[in-house]
Amino acid sequence: MNKNAKIEVKKEDDQQSISVHHLSKKIAKNTTGSQATLSKSLKSHKKKTPKKKTRQTWTPEEEAQVLQLMKKYGTKWAMIASCMKCRNGKQVRDHYLNSLAPDINRGVWTEEEDEAILFYYDKFGAQWCKIAECVPGRTETSVKGRFYTNLKQKRMMKNVKVEIVIDEFIKEEEEDI
């Protein structure tokens, strides 16, 4: 086996990368008696590593707890996460900003918002943060979702119509010549 091959090892929330060669030497040193083989040492190490946590949806109780802790700690996301089970600061921040913030507009999308998204997409590209700043009350995630679910096809159709008009114009010009 290649000395530089990597194995992912999880310890609680930290993720470390340790070379297989280094790992096998470390386990072999701790083994009494005969030399531990690489495959045995990797199997025993695999049994000891905890399983990867699965994604869980936010419960109403967790959301209420976040809102309550926001009043107490403000935007100290790590502090809020330390008071909760199975959530880290980044998860808490993202969920608050994308789902719980009071200034989020959850209403029906307007034609003006759609046009603004298309205009700023043409201007900035897929920089959703910049585009969301130009559409007040909508989050980056909602703007991106709106674009890919409804507006991308509309934009492509608009470009096709422009190409057809240009082609017709060129044909008319050629006929006149």
Residue 102, H or E segment: none
- 103-138 pLDDT, tens digit per residue, is 999 999 999 999 999 999 999 999 999 999 999 999
Instruction: Please check whether residue 94 lies inside any domain of the structure.
Output: yes
Instruction: Please check whether residue 160 lies inside any domain of the structure.
Output: yes
| Amino acid occupying residue 108 | V
Tokens found for residue 77: 């996301």
pLDDT at position 68 is 95
Instruction: Please check whether residue 73 lies inside any domain of the structure.
Output: yes
Q: Which CATH number characterizes residue 123's domain? A: 1.10.10
Count of structural domains, the chain: 3
pLDDT at position 141 is 92
Checking if the pLDDT of 140 tops 90, the result is: yes
Question: Helix, strand, or coil here: 111?
Answer: helix
Full domain range(s) for residue 40: 6-48
Closest-CA residue to 94 (of 120, 58, 131, 69): 58
Other Cβ atoms closer than 10 A to 140: 18
* Residue 115 sits in the same domain as residue 167: yes
* Residue 128 sits in the same domain as residue 164: yes
Instruction: Please check whether residue 15 lies inside any domain of the structure.
Output: yes
Sign of the four-CA dihedral 121, 127, 128, 131? negative
- 12-64 pLDDT, tens digit per residue, is 444 444 444 455 555 555 555 555 555 565 566 555 655 566 778 999 999 99
Give the CA count within 13 Å in the CB-facing half-sphere of 44.
Answer: 13
- Once rounded to an integer, what is the mean pLDDT over residues 140-160? 81
